A and B are shown apart, each in its own frame.
Chain A
Amino acid sequence: MHEIVGNATFVAELLGPLSPFVDVAAVFLPLLGAALATLAGGLWGLPRNDRAAQTLTCLAMVASALASALIFADIAVEGGAARTHVLAPWIQVGALQSFWTLRLDALSSVMLMVVTGVSAMVHLYALGYMRHDRGIPRFMAYLSLFTFGMLMLVTADDLIQLFFGWEAVGVCSYLLIGFWYEKPRASAAAVKAFVVNRIGDFGFILGIFGCFALFRSVAFGSLFSAAPDLESATYALGGLDVPVLTVLCLLLFVGAMGKSAQLGLHVWLPDAMEGPTPVSALIHAATMVTAGVFMVARLSPLFEHAPGALAVVTVVGALTALFAGVVALAQTDIKRVIAYSTMSQLGYMFFAAGVAAYPAAIFHLMTHAFFKALLFLGAGAVIHALAGEQDLRRMGGLARKTPVTYVLMAIGSLALAGIGVPGVFGFAGFYSKDVILEAALAQGSGVGVFAYGVGVLVAGLTALYIGRLFVLTFHGKPRTDEAVFAHAHEASWVMLVPLVPLALGAVFAGFWGEASFVGEGRAAFWAGSLVTGGAGDPLSATHHLAPIWTLLPVAAGVGGLVVAFVVYGLFPRFPGWVAAHLGRVYVGVANAFCVDALYDAMFVRPLRALGMFCRETGDDRWIDGYGPPALARVALRWGQRVRTWQTGYIYHYVFAVVTGLVAALVFVWSTLSR
């Protein structure tokens, strides 16, 4: 079932015949952890043991991360052989053949490392963060189950298993957003997240159906090898010849838009902040929301042949980045600022993919996972320090109280803002964001230039909103209750230690990864697991850009930070003055352009009304009024005349039935023997 060809790597020699077991363990240990935590939850008869649930899930998760590190070292670092383990058949009807599979190549090993690494840190962090919660086993079980779903997603070898992982992480996200289910806002947010994602899934499954109809297969390998020949295939749609692959890729992209909260299907992500902060860090920043980006990268051999779809991906990504960047500026909830920031950064990843710079998209996915998880967990430490306070307007001056958190958040903010000195050193986001912008410009298409322009603007906005968050949280005078502020304290070491590896990643991941992810070594690094030299080969073309274009984004970032510090640090009244004078515009931005209200009026209410209409008018008035029941009523009116026969005693009915039966038999018999 599994093959080892190519380089005999150090890891491969170290593990020898154990290698397949390590591969399987990396993916399935979190599932085991989840199962054990469920048992420890005391729901099914065993005594409840919170400590056991925590220990077992964390051990399983750390072990999974170690196994993933080995796989990553083997495949991505040392260039070991990609491999596919077929575990069992899943859905198989005719040509539709889906297997439970672990596909391990450079792309999935990068994702494996990111997912298990961040997940392990979040598991450990949750030991401290959730210490006083009543539902610890449930929480740990969901967290581990989520990780398993994510791993199944990234190791899928066909569209249907990809969809399995997709839905598995979706349902875990639902369960975790609604973890504090007694809060009505949390449960509403949970349902909203699931339903909005389902709207995306609607596109996704239609894309799968269409792929099967076109390719007669759902396996990635078959799709990729057949795609070039089908580039010119078209659907006749209302007199127009629409390229099939573009339609299918757009349908699949609708799924990605839902999962990755792109403009239009983004409304669930800010509300998802009702979930516990470790959940926000793991699911709604570092991993699940990036699944859409992963999908496009994984299917890059397909998207390559759908130029129309790529253009849409670029534009949607750029607009999302801008929209979220603007909205983030006016949020007062610390977690919502970071949530919109995530949405904005996902926009960057998508337009990277849209301009066919898939490696850059995954590079930013990786660096973003580090610094965004760091920012979220840091925000969790802040919230913890202030006894649950999440409103930026009631923070301030925390730098003295929580110096470690301050430093960690500073690192995360600098990485997000993309600060660095070109040619010397920069924080992680510096490398990954710059390469995206350069690729967009270098690709030379109209949408590429548009994306570049928007991207530079958003780079400035990013620095501005994260600078604002940072200043409002840590600098200035404390605006919270004196009692709360007096008790503000640094988080315990169990919450701070997991932040250290994330901070290291936020500092060094870009510097360390640039050459192999997006630089000269990229073709060897990715080894065909995604398209490295896509249409126009934008990553190679970046070398021909004039230096001014490569300096502009970092200048915007520095400028944004400076403005933030000046405005929010030196003139704390100025923002309030701006908000007051912008009036409705400000309110609109703060309410994310009222998309929620719009959807409520456009979809939610009409749907409810339609439901009531079908129920009251459709069923009760029309079908029951004029349909079969009306005929029955006519019959019943006739029946009234013989009503006296209906006594309500079962014996009478049985008697009547038996008599009738006997009469019928006698009749049949007599006709036969005639």
Chain B
Amino acid sequence: MSSLPLLSLITFLPLAGALGLFAFVRGDDARARRVGIVRGLTLGTTLLTLAGSLALLPGFDPAAPGFQFVENVPWIPRLGLAYHRGVDGIGLAFLVLTAFLTPLSVLAGFSVKTRVKEFMIALLVLETLMLGTFSTLDLALFYVFFEGGLIPMFLMIGIWGGEGRRAAAFKFFLYTFAGSVLMLVAIIAMVAHTGTADMTQMTGGVFAGDLALVLWLAFFASFAVKTPLWPFHTWLPYAHVEAPTAGSMILAGVLLKMGGYGFIRISLQILPSASEVFAPLVIGLSVIAIIYGSLVALAQTDLKRLVAYSSVAHMGYVTLGIFSGTAQGLEGAMMVMLSHGLVSAALFACVGVVYDRVHTREIARFGGLASRVPRYAAVFMVFTLAAVGLPGLSGFVGEFLSLQGAYLYNPLVAALASLGVILGAVYMLGLYRRMFYGPLEKKDLMTLRDLTVREGVVFGALAVPTVWMGLFPAHFLAVFAPATDRLLNVSQTLAAGSIG
């Protein structure tokens, strides 16, 4: 084991950056130089964090069981709470995803012109909380990180959002907070029951019977809202529509994955027997989410809402795969999450590009853009195709595996969920057609500027792993597949034991 507390360093680096900004950068936004320093420092911090998280990869052994880079310092021993950190392949995948997306969000966040310093501080604090969530093994600490992310996100929507930002921010806050209260109760109960908050000591099926079912439901409330799973999704379109571009990228790219991560890490790993019991429920809701989310996306006139609803549909594949109880489904869910992290962030960045220029998200206000801004059109096409699950791009691998898992669970479920493959093409290509094809008629669009270098960097950085993941998913599967396989074996043995 390394002597350096690598995970802590990586996790708290952004927080340190935020404190640095808070303490040392003075003046107001009117001074261009000050804004430049703020942006530079933030970007530098997040890039350093990315470098740090990538540096974990060579030292990580996917085949080794258990958690790695473990740090375990007693915190409140009387309650069994500890500062216990560590990652397996699952956590590491999300850790890297977070560290990768944040600098790109910072770049996209350069379009924020007011209270730049505070915005960047919120972004950095959020990064620390997200990184912490994916690399924490103590339930109490997990709760702090998991729910802490709520606050900066709430502020980002509420302060830097659009016109309806207040209502959206409160809706977001109330929804997620309601879920989290139940989760907190469940965590307290678990700690009371076992005398420790150490997740690694709860994996042996220590909760059984009704207790497990109740705990599972409490966690479900929180994760279902976060994912979001139908019918707990209605906060999402509001939050996305009002959030600034950088906020939407983080929200879709990382925050939604906390739900899926929670389902895997806690529901599946700690409460396997209850997960088995409730699997039909989640799978039913997932199928509804896929079809319903797609249908609502079809009926949108607002660009950002459409992309938001496509997220609801895509997250349906995630929960479908996780609860299919198959290796294909679970690994497919992981791939969907990673892919959606990249693709939805890219699509929201795409929305930001036109919003920054013409200040509208009304799809009908566009049309014929392909001839005016070919680079933007090409980029949008790539991520549209990735979103509709074109083989060779990242979206396909996860969708395919998740649906294969669903088929093994029940062919009818797979048949219904696969309707999403058709509907996805309908709403995404319909959107593309309405925005980019046809004659260019609107006056203000005739002078539209194509992608800037900064935007090009963001999209280029997102496109590379999108293609990579589509052509060589083995490189990504290798990181987390051993962990998911072990988890599945253990949970299936336990679930079988508790029933038989």
Q: Contact residues of A with B, CB < 8 Å?
A: 43-44, 88-94, 96, 160, 163-164, 167-168, 171, 174, 178, 181-182, 184, 186-188, 190-191, 194-195, 198-199, 201-202, 205-206, 208-210, 212-213, 607-608, 610-612, 614-616, 618-619, 623-624, 627-629, 631-632, 635-636, 650, 653, 657, 668, 672
Interface-centre pick from A44, A191, A195 (highest chain B CB count, 10 A): A191
In the complex, per-residue mask of B198-229: 1 if CB is within 8 Å of any chain A CB, else 0:
00000000000000000000000000000000
Q: Nearest Cβ distance between residue A136 and chain B, in whole angstroms?
A: 14
Query: Do A164 and B392 contact each other (CB < 8 Å), given the known contacts A629-B171, A632-B171, A650-B159?
Result: yes
In the assembled complex, which residues on chain B have CB atoms less than 8 Å from the CB atom of A202? 418-419, 421-422
How far in angstroms is the closest Cβ of chain A from B239? 13
Q: Given A608-B298, A614-B296: A628 and B391 within 8 A (CB)?
A: no
Instruction: State the CA gap A205–B440 with chains docked (Å).
Output: 38
CB pair B422–A199 under 8 Å, yes or no, is: yes
**Does residue B63 face the partner (Cβ distance < 8 Å to A)?**
no
Using A195-B429, A628-B232 as known contacts, say yes or no to A94 and B328 having CB atoms under 8 A apart: yes
**Chain A to chain B contacts (Cβ below 8 Å), 18 pairs:** A91-B400, A94-B327, A160-B400, A167-B391, A168-B392, A174-B429, A182-B368, A201-B422, A202-B421, A202-B422, A205-B418, A209-B407, A210-B407, A607-B295, A608-B298, A611-B298, A624-B234, A632-B174
**Nearest-CB distance from A409 to chain B (Å)?**
33
Please indicate the chain A residues that have their CB under 8 angstroms from the CB of B422 in the complex. 195, 198-199, 201-202
**B interface: dominant SS:** helix
B289: min CB distance to chain A, Å: 11
Flag B78-100 by CB within 8 Å of A: 1 or 0 each.
11000000000000000000000
Residues on B lying within 8 angstroms of A by beta carbon are 76, 78-79, 118, 151, 155, 159, 170-171, 174-175, 178, 231-232, 234, 292, 295-300, 327-328, 331-332, 368, 370-371, 374-375, 378, 385, 390-392, 396-397, 400-401, 403-404, 407-408, 411, 414-415, 418-419, 421-422, 425-426, 429-430, 433, 436-440, 471-474, 477, 481
Residues of A with C-beta under 8 A to B159 = 650
Would you call A91 and B401 a contact (CB within 8 A)? yes
Chain B residue nearest to A192 (CB atoms) is: B429
Contact assessment for B178 and A632 in the assembled complex, using a CB-CB cutoff below 8 Å? yes
Residue in B closest to A138 when the chains form the complex, CB atoms: B374
State in angstroms the CA–CA spacing of A384 and B385 once bound together: 34
Contact A607-B178, Cβ < 8 Å, known A96-B404, A194-B425: no
**Contact B76 A614, beta carbon cutoff 8 Å:** no
B155 pairs with A607, CB closer than 8 A: no
Supposing A191-B429, A611-B298, A619-B296 touch, asked if A91 and B473 sit within 8 A by C-beta, the answer is: yes
Docked-complex contact B299 and A615, CB < 8 angstroms: yes
Assess whether A182 is in contact with B371, with CB atoms less than 8 Å apart: yes
Q: What's the least CB distance linking B399 to chain A, in Å?
A: 9
A160, B438: Cα distance in complex, Å: 35
Q: How far is the CB of A299 from chain B (nearest CB, A)?
A: 18
Chain A residues within an 8 Å CB radius of B415: 206
User: What residues on A are CB-neighbors of B298 within 8 Å?
Assistant: 607-608, 611
Given the complex, which residues of B lie within 8 Å of A210, measured CB to CB?
407, 411
Inter-subunit contact B473/A90 (CB<8 Å): yes
Shortest distance between the CB of A660 and any CB in chain B (Å): 11
List B contacts of A615 (CB < 8 A). 295-296, 299-300
The answer to whether residues A611 and B295 also contact, given A182-B371, A628-B178 and a CB cut-off of 8 A, is yes
Known contacts A188-B433, A191-B429, A612-B299: does B234 contact A167 (CB below 8 Å)? no
Contact call B231/A623, Cβ cutoff below 8 A = yes
Question: Are B78 and A672 in contact, CB atoms less than 8 angstroms apart?
Answer: yes
Q: Which A-B residue pairs are the 9 nearest by beta carbons?
A: A611-B299, A187-B437, A209-B407, A611-B298, A164-B391, A181-B437, A615-B299, A611-B295, A94-B327
The closest CB in chain A to the CB of B411 belongs to A210
Cβ of A198 and Cβ of B438 under 8 Å apart? no
- CB within 8 Å for A163 and B391 given contacts A43-B374, A171-B385, A210-B407: yes
**Chain B residue contacts of A190, Cβ below 8 A:** 433, 437
Residues on the A chain within 8 Å of B414, using CB: 206, 209
With A607-B298, A628-B175 known as contacts, the answer to whether A213 contacts B411 (CB < 8 A) is: yes
Give the distance in Å from the alpha carbon of A206 to the alpha carbon of B426 in the complex.
Answer: 19
Q: Which residues of A contact B426 (CB under 8 A)?
A: 195, 198, 607
Of B170, B297, B328, which one neighbours A93 at CB under 8 angstroms? B328
In chain B, what residue has the closest Cβ to A187?
B437
Whether A209 contacts B403 in the complex (CB less than 8 A), given A171-B390, A194-B429, comes out as yes
User: Are B234 and A619 closer than 8 Å at their CB atoms?
Assistant: yes
Query: In the assembly, what is the distance between CA of A186 and CA of B439, in Å?
Result: 12
Across the interface, which residues of B come within 8 angstroms of A188, CB to CB? Answer: 433
**Could you say which of A89, A94, A195 contacts B474, with CB atoms under 8 Å apart?**
A89
A199–B420 alpha-carbon span in the complex (Å): 10
CB distance from A307 to the nearest CB of B (A): 22
